[in-house]
Structure 1
Amino acid sequence: MKNKKVFLPAFMTLAVLAGCSMNNNATEQQASSASSQLSSQETASQSSQSESSIEEKSSSEMTSQSSDSAAENPGEQATDLTQQEVLEAIGNELYTDAPIKLPKQLPMKEGKHLSATTSSKSGMYAIVFYESDEPIPINNQQLTDGTSSAEQIARLTVQQYPSQKEADEQIAYQTFSEQGGQEVDLGYDITGYQDAGAGSVYTGWNEGQWALASHARTENSEQGVALAKEAVEFLENNLLPIPDPHGFAHLDVEQGDNRILWQDEMTVYTIDQVVNPIDALMIAVAFD
């Protein structure tokens, strides 16, 4: 009986020790597992931060490269506009109290782009139209410094005068039938009157409130008549602006002095610096 009493406590002690050992092992395993999970999370976080840093760096480099590319290629920002859009933009560059009127279109070579230089002040404005291979902004120095393909098309000048008399004096209007000269049939029931002198020959005629004349050298008088007939035929299907009161067109076979002028009371519109005389007429008929 005494031996039995001694044995039971010893067994219980072993059981308790075994239990403690198992608990300690379980705690260590849990701690080890938790540590492993924490380490895995830290590794994943570091990996994510690293990937984010790489992405940010890559994005920054791409932005920088894009900015450098834009700086090296500013021409890529040029906009290809229609004639109508360019003409509207030209009108917005004029600062004047004179009435602003522009042609609806200009004669241009195929594939060319329209631009212009402008100047304006109270009572007047002037526009020089250009065409070029590539779009050039309005009033850009490339139009005049010879560094581009820009070629002049024409010049438009609009001037207000203080009196009707001064405006009338700008228009060399005359009734050719009253001036005499050799009659020439220009077609379409229009008679021209030819007058020669000082090495030149002029063929003049009237259409409505307009006086028109072609100019040629004496030795090329037939070319003067041919140009007059070509102009008459063109104007059969195209209407010049209605002047108030008069208009005048000087068409030059030699292409050195093509001028078209007309009045709107005390305001005078002038188209000049056009190489081809028919082109000058095309610009004039493009006004409202």
Structure 2
Amino acid sequence: MAKASYKPLVVLGVCGMLLAGCSSDSDSEPMESSAQMEESQSSEAASSMSSESNAESSSNQEESSDTSKEESASSESEVRSELEMDPAVVFLPTYMPENSHANIVTNNENEYTVAYTDEQGNDLAAVSGTIYTDADTALAEMDAKMNGAVSATPDEETAVDLGYGITGYGEGAAGSQYLSWEEGNWDFTIHSLSVDKMDAPEIAKRIVTYLEESSLPAPSEKGLILIDYPQGGDSVFVDIMWQKENRVYELSTHQVPLEALEMVVSME
């Protein structure tokens, strides 16, 4: 636009000096009007192309999201269909904190293990189900795996009100701190090192509050949850195990406790 209007101004100056009565109106206005029209048309074309590009990008994103969901659903369905255990007693999570891939690790009529990883191949969780000869054996095997790490021994001197009528009990031993409590047939224990000064009661209160709105699977006799914070307290290992008749189910993960619980709550 600047170059188009600049030339008529020069012509006007020259005409004024060389020839009295010389007028450039009839020449300059059409040139400026034509340039404006071209610029306007170019702007409209660019705007149209931008709108079309944005619409296409949005459409591609929606299609990609839909495809991802379809692939995830397909993957879960494929895993279930490949497991050799009776489908009626297979339980897998329908919730994962990230887009995940499921890989079958162990697969026979009496046992399955499925490992879940994120899109970068990092571990998210491992889920397993095992059938034993009877319920007593299942309970014994579960207790053996936990090795006494989860227990709630009432001690009024260390009692902590966790809300909703739930009381936790603390214990310290050999540089470690434990906070344990019971909810129905489930026993919980939070373990951390004394030097890290983890706020176990606050963590426990959040868990208790969450479980007021969400239900864990119903064990026949017992369910155990160990929340273990290694040295430093910057990471966590959560192991959730429960007995259902002659079967034991387990979910282990390094996700935070509430994410671990949400995965177990979603299992079906």
Structure with higher Rg: it is 1
> How much has 1:158 moved relative to structure 2?
0.7
Is residue 86 of structure 1 aligned with residue 81 of structure 2? no
Q: Residues 181, 283 of structure 1: CA spacing in aligned structure 2 closer, same or farther, 3 A cutoff?
A: farther
- Please tell me whether the aligned partners of residues 155 and 274 of structure 1 are also in contact (alpha carbons under 8 angstroms): no
Distance 1:226 1:220 in 2: 15
Bigger shift: residues 236-245 or 252-261: 252-261
TM-score by length of structure 1 reads 0.60
- How many residues get paired? 191
Out of 154, 164, 167, the residue aligned to residue 125 of structure 2 is: 154
- Please tell me whether the aligned partners of residues 188 and 224 of structure 2 are also in contact (alpha carbons under 8 angstroms): yes
Out of 79, 96, 104, the residue aligned to residue 94 of structure 2 is: 104
* Corresponding letter in the other structure for 1:216: S
> How much has 1:106 moved relative to structure 2?
1.6
Q: Partner residue of 1:116?
A: 102
Q: Partner residue of 1:281?
A: 261
Q: Partner residue of 1:259?
A: 239
Q: Secondary structure at the match of 2:225?
A: strand
Distance 2:138 2:220 in 1: 11
Out of 92, 102, 118, the residue aligned to residue 131 of structure 1 is: 118
- Please tell me whether the aligned partners of residues 220 and 243 of structure 2 are also in contact (alpha carbons under 8 angstroms): yes
* Corresponding letter in the other structure for 1:128: A
- Please tell me whether the aligned partners of residues 117 and 127 of structure 1 are also in contact (alpha carbons under 8 angstroms): yes
- 1:147-200: CA deviations, max 9, x gaps? xx2221100011111232221121458772546661011122211001111221
Distance 1:227 1:182 in 2: 16
Q: Secondary structure at the match of 2:237?
A: coil
What does 1:207-218 align with in structure 2 at a 5 Å threshold?
A: 207-218=183-194
Q: Secondary structure at the match of 1:84?
A: helix
What does 1:5-44 align with in structure 2 at a 5 Å threshold?
A: none
Q: Partner residue of 1:166?
A: 137
Q: Secondary structure at the match of 2:137?
A: helix
Q: Residues 263, 179 of structure 1: CA spacing in aligned structure 2 closer, same or farther, 3 A cutoff?
A: farther
Out of 206, 215, 221, the residue aligned to residue 239 of structure 1 is: 215
> How much has 1:256 moved relative to structure 2?
4.2
Distance 2:222 2:155 in 1: 17
- Please tell me whether the aligned partners of residues 214 and 251 of structure 1 are also in contact (alpha carbons under 8 angstroms): yes
- 1:186-229: CA deviations, max 9, x gaps? 12221100111122111111111111111111123442222211
RMSD of aligned alpha carbons:
2.4
- Please tell me whether the aligned partners of residues 249 and 261 of structure 1 are also in contact (alpha carbons under 8 angstroms): yes
Distance 1:226 1:125 in 2: 35
- Please tell me whether the aligned partners of residues 105 and 283 of structure 1 are also in contact (alpha carbons under 8 angstroms): yes
* Corresponding letter in the other structure for 1:120: N
- Please tell me whether the aligned partners of residues 209 and 247 of structure 1 are also in contact (alpha carbons under 8 angstroms): yes
Unaligned runs of 5+ in 1: 1-78, 133-148
Distance 1:177 1:207 in 2: 13
Q: Does 1 or 2 have the higher relative contact order (CA < 8 Å, sep 6+)?
A: 2
Q: Partner residue of 2:168?
A: 192
- Please tell me whether the aligned partners of residues 152 and 188 of structure 2 are also in contact (alpha carbons under 8 angstroms): no
Distance 1:168 1:270 in 2: 13
Unaligned runs of 5+ in 2: 1-66
Q: Secondary structure at the match of 1:176?
A: coil
- Please tell me whether the aligned partners of residues 223 and 253 of structure 1 are also in contact (alpha carbons under 8 angstroms): no
- Please tell me whether the aligned partners of residues 227 and 253 of structure 1 are also in contact (alpha carbons under 8 angstroms): no
